[in-house]
Structure 1
Amino acid sequence: MSVQNGFLAVLTQGPAYGSQLQNEFLARAAHRRQLNAGQVYSTLDRMVDQGLIDPAGTTDDGLPLYALTADGESSARAWLTSGPTDAQPDWDEMQDQVLLAASIAGADAAAIVADYRTAYAERIRELTHDADSRALLAANRAAELGANAAIEWLDEVAAVLASHPEVLLQPRSPERPRRGRRPAGDAV
């Protein structure tokens, strides 16, 4: 879900085509190694089907552009202003959301960081009280250490946001990726 939400977040900066969204997402969520083209375009197709984005014309060289619908804008803004909806937050989702929000003007990265911090602190409380079974002890300890690492990282991000909030903001890159999916009827 974070790739879809990340694409919505990037689209708050204006229409873009598939490879452009892929590059922007990866530049902002630097912990990610890659997104394959199939994942990018299947996500875009799904977002169109869900009514989150619409075709928005083409680039000068014929690549299809996508833009947010009203529902897409609403979803993007919700994701860019509040933290996890799950009682057991996912590490990769957290990094995607925090880093993308920190890179986009108008997002509330500090609120997202605080929400994740609260969720992970609650997770630690649950884990330390749920150590009844010896079989669960090792798994609970691993989850507790992971939650502590998340809180440590979130505290570092919060410190950067508090002292230099502009350092993480990124306008859309002026570099255009050369490849992209052509509309279905175009010859290659």
Structure 2
Amino acid sequence: MSIRHGLLALLERGPMHGYQLRAAFEASVGGTWALNIGQVYTTLSRLERDDFVRPRPEGEGGQRPYEITESGRAELSRWFSTPLERTDRPRDELAIKLALAMTTPGVDVTAVVQSQRTAGVRALQEYTRLKTRPSDQDDLSWRLVLDSLIFQCEAEIRWLDHCETTILRHRPGPVAPAGAPVEERERNRR
């Protein structure tokens, strides 16, 4: 997600200063993305430079709120109406890690896969636990973020299962049946 567009969306609600923006951003994503206050102010400076926001007079506490401009509203509207391309998303560090593990001597790729799968299952359990907590209807944005995290974990676990099967299929030596425990598959691989 673009932090600049996130801040513009928050400023569409009304003027806010940096600490308010950080708190509102983190609340909107259910605390799943911690935002550094320095990042907020750096982004605000760039948004001001690009004429997407403008500062307002300082408040009583010495904080300077910002408000969105018409140019900022147009940019925000463009962002909301433009679908994300797969190439716009950050590189998949896990895919890169596994690709490098495959070609790095001494790395047990299956252990890397298993470690990641275990972490993914734990995260999935935690997200599912969070989903069972009672919430009010106003928490819909957090529920959607949580659903996204659950779907991403499920997809990652399925992909890791596929990776392990593919790795075992392409390694020399006997391979245990597909339903065999990981330990047996590893023992047969050696």
More helix by share: 2
**TM-score normalised according to structure 2 size:** 0.45
